[in-house]
Amino acid sequence: MQQQPDITGIELLTVYGSNLSYFTGKLEMYLRAKGIAYQFEPMNTRRIMPLVTRETGTSQMPAATLADGRWITDTTPIIAWLEHHYPEPPIVPIDPVQRFLSLLLEDYADEWLWRPAMHHRWYSAEGALLQSRHLVDEITVGVPAPRFLKRFVLRRRQRGYSFGDGVSEQNREQVEDTYLRNLDWMQAVFSDRPFFLGNSPSLVDIAFTGPFFRHFSQDPVPAEIMKQRAPAVWEWVARMWNCHGHVQGDWLLGIPADWSPWLREIGTVYLPYLSANALAVQAGNKRFSPTVDGVTYAGARVSPYRVWCLEELRRQYLALPEAPRAEVQNILQRHDCWEPLWRIETLNSGVNEGVTLPFSCTDKMV
């Protein structure tokens, strides 16, 4: 990986992951936009993965080490922590209303677009063959087994990410529609301005590169759809990868009207799903079959991590000063997000309790 000059003063990081991974891509995009120098190392299963598991308690990608040897994992708190310690140039909006709504869109991009991204990666033979070969060569070097066997094992395991998240032939079309809708909404935004919030990238751009960079623009089927249906999104992906040095916090005032489709979707689909997941975790279930907006995701795995996501959103809301808090409430109410945000009275995920910064996350996403 080519080194870029560091413009924040933070010492070099090492990022362990895969150059096909959703969240490794998200973290790399953040570091590049921010101007933080890092070196990338594949998280190979022989040497690095056992080390990461021992040091952080999870084998998820990405994991990173700071120059002083401390480990950090989980892109959402990593970005929050780095922004706090290295505020210039800003990626997370300073305006409290923009900041809260950016965190909400980040959560949606991280957790809800994961399902169509996993589906598109592993459903078509074309994509699965290509990417399983890449992944096997990248992270299973030195594992003494034939390549075809490693690919077979990997594909079976990875398809569990979409079946295990409730994707089936009954709802495949709706899962694919989520991607198409997002393309249309983004095409409208990037036909108007280069980034979600104006002339500079911000947290929402970084979050949407999770699914759109290392998945939708790299997997053959969704990449072709993107080129044909939403060329401005295709262009934005490359603009993001090349945005080092263009970050100045040159943003619009307020919440752009073209964010409304996402806020409505978050209110009708994502927050109701998070609420159903929280109830299932409280009931001690391992699987559940949430129905949101008329679509059932049968036999989906429950996720304590996603209870933590809901807790975090509430905590961020409650930490807002009075005036922006009223404004956020108003926006959430107008987009039907308010009721599902508070639907479940008490949340107690137990995730990340007692962790100190820098930190490692105590639970997997799904």
Ligand X SMILES: N[C@@H](CCC(=O)N[C@@H](CS)C(=O)NCC(=O)O)C(=O)O
| Residues near ligand X, by CB under 6 A | 21-23, 59-61, 74-76, 110, 364-365
CB of 21 to ligand X, least distance (A): 4
Min. distance of Cβ 210 from ligand X in angstroms?
Answer: 8
Nearer to ligand X, 332 or 366 (CB): 366
Q: Which is nearer to ligand X, 110 or 312 (CB)?
A: 110
**What is the number of residues in the chain?**
366
In the bound state with ligand X, the residue whose beta carbon lies nearer, of 260 and 316, is: 316
Cα-based distances in Å from 29 to 110, 176, 201:
14, 25, 10
Residue pair 305/365 in contact (Cβ under 8 Å)? The answer is: yes
Rounded Cα distance between 140 and 351, Å, is: 30
Residue 160 or 256: which CB sits closer to ligand X?
Answer: 160
Instruction: Please tell me the distance from the alpha carbon of residue 289 to that of residue 299, in angstroms, as a whole number.
Output: 5
> Do the Cβ atoms of 131 and 20 come closer than 8 Å?
yes
CA distance 49 to 139: 9
Q: How far is the CB of 138 from ligand X (least distance, A)?
A: 13
> Closer to ligand X at the Cβ: 49 or 189?
49
Which residue, 75 or 182, has its beta carbon nearer to ligand X? 75
Helices (H), the chain: 22-34, 48-56, 75-85, 96-107, 114-123, 125-139, 147-163, 172-192, 203-211, 220-229, 231-241, 260-265, 271-282, 304-318, 322-334, 338-342
Smallest distance from ligand X to CB 40, Å = 14
